[in-house]
A and B are shown apart, each in its own frame.
Chain A
Amino acid sequence: MATPLETEPAAVQTAAGPGEDRPAYRGTLRYALTKLGGALLSIGMVIVATFFLFRLIPGDPVIAYTRDVPLSPDQIELLRRQMGLDKPLMQQFADFVLRTLQFDLGTSYEYKRPVTDLIGERVGPTLLLTGVGLFIAVSLGLWQGTRAAWHHGGRLDRFSTGVSLVLWSVPTFWLGLLLLMVLGAGIGPIPGLFPTRGMESVDAPDGFGYVLDVAHHMVLPCLTLVAVVYAQYLLVMRSSLLDEIGQDYVTTARAKGLRDDMVRRRHAIPNALLPTVTLVFIHIGFVVGGAVSVETVYSWPGLGLLFYEAIKGPDFAVMQGTFMVVCVAVIIMNTLADVAYHVLDPRVRSA
Chain B
Amino acid sequence: MGKWLARLTALGVALVLAAPVTAAQAADPATTGKKTVRIGSIQSVDSMNPFLAVRLIAGQLQRWTYMFLTAPDPKTLKPGPDLAESWESSDDGLTWTFKIRQAKWSDGQPVTAHDAAWTFNKIMTDDAAKTGNGPAVENFETVTATDDRTLVIKTKAPQASMLSNPIPIVPKHIWEKVGDMATFENETYPAVTNGAYIPIEHKKDNYVKLKANPDYWQGKPKIDELQVIFYENPEAAIAGLKKGDIDLIGRLAAPQFEAGAGDPNIVQWNTPGRRAAYLQINHGATTSDDKEIGDGHPALKDPKVRQAIHHAIDKQALVDQVQNGLAVPANGSIVPPMYTDFFWEATGADKISFDLAKANQILDEAGYKKGDDGVRTMPDGKRKLEMRFSIHTDTPTEDKLAQFLTGWFKEIGITLTTRKLDSNKFTEETGSTALFDIAISGWSVNPDPEEVLATHLCSRRPTPTGEGGGTESFYCDKQYEDLYQSQLKELDATKRADMIKQMQQRLYTDAPVIAIYYPNNLELYRKDRITSITPIPAGKQGEGILYGGASGYPMITLDAPAVATGASAEGGGSNTGMIIGIAAAAVVVLGVGGFLLSRRRKTTSDERE
Which of the 9-residue segments B146-154, B478-486, B577-585 touches chain A?
B577-585
B592–A214 CB distance below 8 A: yes
Interface residues of B in 202-246 (CB under 8 A from A): 203-207, 209, 227, 229-233, 235-237, 239-240, 242-243, 245
Q: Mark A210-228, 1 if CB is under 8 A from B, else 0.
A: 1111111011101100100
Q: Which of B117-137 contact A (CB under 8 A)?
A: 127, 130-131, 134-135
B577 touches A215 (CB 8 A): no
Contact A202 B209 (CB under 8 A): yes
The residue in B207, B584, B589 that gathers the most chain A C-beta atoms within 10 A of its C-beta is: B584
Report how far A2 CA is from B585 CA in the complex, Å. Answer: 26
Residues of A within 8 A of B242 (CB): 185
- In the bound complex, how far is the Cα of B46 from the Cα of A309, in angstroms? 12
Q: Tell me which residues from 453 to 511 in chain B have a Cβ below 8 Å from any Cβ of chain A.
A: 454-455, 460, 463, 467-470
Chain A positions 184-242 with a Cβ under 8 Å from a chain B Cβ: 184-186, 190-205, 208-216, 218-220, 222-223, 226
Q: Tell me the minimal C-beta distance from A281 to chain B in angstroms.
A: 18
Q: How far is the CB of A147 from chain B (nearest CB, A)?
A: 9
A197-B232, A215-B19 known; A64 vs B424 contact (CB < 8 Å): yes
CA–CA, A68 and B452, complex, Å: 10
* Nearest CB of B to A210, in Å: 7
Flag if B585 contacts A185 (CB, 8 Å). Answer: no
Report if A196-B245 is in contact (Cβ < 8 Å); known contacts: A143-B2, A209-B23, A211-B592.
Answer: yes
List residues of chain B with CB within 8 A of the CB of A193. Answer: 570, 573-574, 576-578, 581
**A312 sits at the interface (CB 8 A):** yes
Tell me if A243 counts as interface (CB < 8 A to partner B): no
Question: Do A299 and B587 have beta carbons less than 8 Å apart?
Answer: no
A314 part of interface (Cβ distance < 8 Å) = yes
Interface residues of B in 138-190 (CB under 8 A from A): 138, 182-183, 185
* Min CB gap B15→A, angstroms: 6
Determine, out of B25-33, B334-342, B517-525, B534-542, the stretch whose residues face the partner at the interface. Answer: B25-33
Residue A63 interfacial (CB < 8 Å): yes
Contact with B598, one of A107, A124, A135, A314 (Cβ below 8 angstroms): A124
Given A124-B599, A202-B229, A219-B585, does the pair A180, B134 have CB atoms closer than 8 Å? no
Known: A128-B595, A193-B574, A299-B230. A219 touches B18 (CB 8 A): no
**Beta-carbon contact of B470 and A70 below 8 Å:** yes
- Complex: how many Å from CA A226 to CA B595? 19
Q: Is B425 an interface residue (CB 8 A)?
A: yes
Query: B243–A63 contact, CB under 8 A?
Result: no
Contact status B239-A196, CB under 8 Å: yes
Interface residues contributed by chain B, number (CB under 8 Å): 96
Given contacts A112-B47, A186-B243, A196-B245, whether A78 and B127 have CB atoms under 8 Å apart is: yes
- Is the CB–CB distance between A63 and B577 below 8 Å? no
B429: nearest chain-A partner, CB-CB? A59
Closest to B466 in A: A60
> Is A6 an interface residue when CB atoms closer than 8 A count as contact?
no
Q: In the complex, are the beta carbons of B182 and A190 less than 8 A apart? A: no
Q: A136 with B27: in contact, given A113-B47, A193-B576 (CB under 8 Å)?
A: no
Q: Does B593 contact A (CB under 8 A)?
A: yes
Q: Please, which residue of chain B has its CB at the minimum distance from the CB of A127?
A: B595
Q: Which residues of B contact A210 (CB under 8 A)?
A: 596
A121 at the A/B interface (Cβ < 8 Å)? yes
Q: Are B595 and A214 in contact (CB under 8 A)?
A: yes
Q: How far is the CA of A220 from the CA of B588 in the complex (A)?
A: 11
Instruction: Determine whether the beta carbon of A70 is less than 8 Å from that of B209.
Output: no
> Is the pair B424, A314 in contact by a Cβ cutoff of 8 Å?
yes
B432 and A128 within 8 A (CB): no
| A256 within 8 Å of B (CB atoms) | no
| Cβ-based interface call for B5 (8 A) | yes
Number of interface residues of A (CB under 8 A): 88
* Given A113-B47, A199-B206, A215-B589: A71 touches B581 (CB 8 Å cut-off): no
List chain A residues, Cβ under 8 A from B236.
180, 184-185, 196-197, 297-299
Q: Which of B183, B229, B468, B577 is packed against the most chain A CB atoms within 10 Å?
A: B577
Interface residues of B in 553-598 (CB under 8 A from A): 565, 567, 570, 572-574, 576-578, 580-581, 583-585, 587-596, 598
Query: Which residues from B are CB-within-8-Å of A202?
Result: 38, 206-207, 209, 227, 229
A25 adjacent to chain B (CB < 8 Å):
no
Q: Counting CB contacts under 8 A, is A169 at the interface?
A: no
Q: Is A101 an interface residue (CB 8 A)?
A: no
B422 interface contact, C-beta 8 A: yes
CB distance from A65 to the nearest CB of B (A): 9
Instruction: Judge whether B349 is part of the interface by a CB distance below 8 angstroms.
Output: no
Known pairs A113-B183, A143-B1, A215-B19; A63 contacts B592 (CB<8 A): no
The residues of A that contact B455 with a CB separation of less than 8 Å are: 70
Among A124, A127, A222, A299, contact of B231 (Cβ-Cβ < 8 Å): A299
User: Taking the complex as formed, is A296 at the interface, i.e. its CB lies under 8 A from any CB of chain B?
Assistant: yes
CB distance from A83 to the nearest CB of B (A): 12
B581:A219 contact, CB within 8 angstroms = yes
Using A63-B424, A202-B38, A210-B596 as known contacts, say yes or no to A132 and B587 having CB atoms under 8 A apart: yes
Is B428 an interface residue when CB atoms closer than 8 A count as contact?
A: yes
Known contacts A67-B423, A202-B229, A219-B581; A196/B2 CB under 8 A: no
Cβ B577 vs Cβ A312 within 8 A: no
Q: Does A255 contact B (CB under 8 A)?
A: no
Out of A71, A184, A211, name the residue touching B135 (CB < 8 Å).
A71
Q: How far is the CA of A114 from the CA of B205 in the complex (A)?
A: 16
Most chain A C-beta atoms within 10 Å of own C-beta, residue among B31, B130, B443: B130
A313 touches B423 (CB 8 A): yes
Chain A residues within an 8 Å CB radius of B131: 112
Within 8 A of A (CB), among B1-19: 1-2, 5, 15-16, 18-19
Instruction: Determine if B22 is an interface residue (Cβ-Cβ < 8 Å).
Output: yes
Contact between chains at A183 and B394 (CB < 8 Å)? no
Q: How long is the Cα–Cα vector from A320 to B344 in the complex, in angstroms?
A: 46
Residues from chain A with a CB closer than 8 A to the CB of B209 are 202
- Shortest CB distance B14–A (Å): 11
**With an 8 A cutoff between CB atoms, is B292 at the interface?**
no
What are 24 A-B residue pairs whose CB atoms fall within 8 Å in the complex?
Answer: A57-B424, A58-B425, A60-B468, A63-B427, A64-B425, A111-B47, A112-B52, A112-B182, A124-B595, A139-B5, A139-B587, A142-B1, A180-B236, A185-B242, A193-B573, A202-B38, A203-B30, A205-B26, A209-B23, A212-B18, A218-B588, A219-B585, A297-B233, A312-B394
Q: A124-B595, A216-B16 are in contact. List 19 more A-B contacts (CB 8 A).
A: A59-B424, A60-B432, A63-B431, A142-B1, A185-B235, A185-B236, A193-B574, A195-B570, A197-B236, A202-B206, A214-B596, A216-B19, A216-B23, A219-B584, A297-B236, A298-B236, A309-B232, A312-B394, A314-B422
In order of increasing CB-CB distance, the 4 nearest A-B pairs are A70-B470, A185-B239, A205-B26, A64-B424
